[in-house]
Amino acid sequence: EVQLVESGGGLVQAGGSLRLSCTASGFTLDDYAIGWFRQAPGKEREEVSCLNNGDNTTQYLNSVKGRFTMSADNAKNTVYLEMNNLKPEDTAEYLCAAEPSRFGCPARYGIPNVSIWGQGTQVTVSS
């Protein structure tokens, strides 16, 4: 079964840090582009970051540049999102998603077309 499982969310004060993990089973992440998305109540889902193992590139939403870092441990079939200097506006459910690397980042052809999603992990940043 193809599956993504996120972990690492929680409650943190503004200025704090969290590291999210996204572990794949049933397929190998090093053939995929992996995106971290977030969705806050009443807001649209947005892609926060993407790591494409096909060309070793990463990209970030402007609002998280310099604060969030995405990395991969292919031996563990896991990608991470290190989130520093968290702000209340970062509060959301965070989900990872994957598409074959040849197609680029998961959001490239529209979020509804993303084929593999995790179940999400909640991040809450208090002020």
Q: pLDDT 10s per residue in the chain (127 long)?
A: 999 999 999 999 999 999 999 999 999 998 999 999 999 999 999 999 999 998 999 999 999 999 999 999 989 999 999 999 999 999 999 999 999 999 999 988 888 889 899 999 999 999 9
CB atoms within 10 A of CB 36: 28
CB neighbours of 7 closer than 8 A, spacing ≥ 6? Answer: 20, 21, 23, 121
For position 70, what pLDDT does the model report? 97
For position 67, what pLDDT does the model report? 98
Distance CA 23, CA 8 (A): 11
Q: With residue 105 as reference, give the H or E element that holds it.
A: none
For position 111, what pLDDT does the model report? 86
